[in-house]
């Protein structure tokens, strides 16, 4: 990813920018998730129950690996920004990881961005 990142200078606009980034990422996640759900449904229809069970075991293992990779990414953020590392870890483990999908980009704000 070589996209240049530009951000606004004032705090209010910057907060709005970050909120919009979360909402944009959420929209992309939902689009990819919808594609995955469609592929999953088609595969399930074309497989025997035994084979489908094996596929689900693979998906479960890959999902667990993805969660662990996210933990690695948060740990790396902390390593790069040691002054805020404890806060990053706490917010990740105690708040973000348990967010409901519809709260992404909206929690912890004084008003809803929508």
Domain count within the chain: 2
Given a cut of 70, whether residue 113 has pLDDT beyond it is no
Asked whether residue 56 falls in the same domain as residue 25, the answer is no
What's the burial of 105, exposed, middle or buried (CB within 10 Å: 0-12/13-18/19+)? buried
Tell me how far apart the 2 most distant CA atoms of the chain are, in Å.
Answer: 57
d(C-alpha 45, C-alpha 95), whole Å: 37
Q: Is residue 112 part of a domain?
A: no
Q: Is residue 93 part of a domain?
A: yes
**pLDDT tens digit string along 26-81?**
999 999 999 999 999 999 999 999 999 999 999 999 999 999 999 999 999 999 99
Q: Which domain holds residue 84?
A: 48-104
Q: Is residue 111 part of a domain?
A: no
pTM: 0.74
Of 31, 21, 37, which is closest to residue 104 (Cα–Cα)?
Answer: 21
């Amino acid at each position: 990813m070589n996209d240049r990142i530009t951000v606004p200078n004032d705090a209010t606009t910057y907060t709005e920018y970050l909120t919009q980034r979360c909402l944009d990422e959420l929209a992309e996640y939902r689009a990819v998730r919808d594609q995955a759900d469609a592929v999953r449904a088609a595969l399930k229809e074309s497989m025997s129950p035994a084979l489908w069970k094996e596929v689900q075991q693979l998906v479960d293992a890959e999902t667990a690996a993805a969660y662990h990779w996210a933990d690695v990414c948060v740990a790396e953020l902390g390593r790069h920004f040691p002054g805020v590392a404890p806060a990053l870890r706490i917010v990740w483990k105690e708040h973000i990881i348990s967010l409901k999908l519809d709260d992404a980009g909206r929690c912890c704000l004084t008003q809803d961005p929508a």
